Amino acid sequence: MTVLNRRDAILGLATVAMCASLGIYGFRALSEEGEDSDDREKGLHPPLTSGEVALIAAMAEGIIPPTETPGAIAAGVPAFISKIFSDWFKPEEQRDFRTGLRKCQDLAKTRHGLPFERCSAAQQHDLLVALDEEAMNAPRPAGKIPAFVQFKALTVIGYYSSEAGQNEELKSQMNAGEQTPNGPTFLSAASFGNII
């Protein structure tokens, strides 16, 4: 019987999430690339505040904490999420994402009297579990992704597309190596280093 640890489970889910996310973020964003470029140039997409980025960092680190490999913060996940938020989210997606962040803060303040990022690791874990359970059980109107589900997907995608996620966690380079009709040939980080 194979024992699956948390990191192995996240790795498997990351692969699925990265593929599925192309439909959620990538292809949609590319197909609508020119729709609101004027709005971006006019600065109508406000960036995340420093408080929101601090909350994102604490939440992401709670989802992928440092172990023998770097956690979400060291992998640059907060910067990745900030970039996706400011460069790819439409205004209504930004609004929904911010609503999800406020929901997390409100829950932390209600349960513990503190902002999420000042709660203990155990309290943060319990809050993330509560948000996850609520998101998984919530009705999903067509085309709407619960904010916490979206946040988890961005965290996993950001982590496993980072240098730390690929080199130290996966021990491989995504899309590195020779392209074949069957898809990319994946190499270990050690063998990839010998090619350069």
Q: How far apart are CA 189 and CA 187, in angstroms?
A: 6
Q: In this predicted structure, what is the pLDDT of residue 192? A: 40
Task: Render each residue's pLDDT in the chain as its tens digit; 196 residues.
Answer: 445 555 555 555 555 555 455 444 544 444 444 444 454 444 456 799 999 999 999 999 999 999 999 999 999 999 999 999 999 999 999 999 999 999 999 999 999 999 999 999 999 999 999 999 999 998 888 778 899 999 999 999 999 999 888 888 887 766 555 555 555 555 444 444 433 3
pLDDT (tens digit per residue) in 39-87? 444 445 679 999 999 999 999 999 999 999 999 999 999 999 999 999 9
CA-wise closest residue to 127 among 37, 19, 55:
55
Q: 172 forms bridges with which residues in the sheet?
A: 188
Helix, strand, coil shares of the chain, percent, nearest 5, are: 65, 5, 30
Q: In this predicted structure, what is the pLDDT of residue 29? A: 47
Q: How far apart are CA 165 and CA 72, in angstroms?
A: 9
Where do the structural domains in the chain lie, given as residue ranges?
A: 6-161, 172-196
Q: 184 forms bridges with which residues in the sheet?
A: 179
Q: How far apart are CA 147 and CA 124, in angstroms?
A: 17
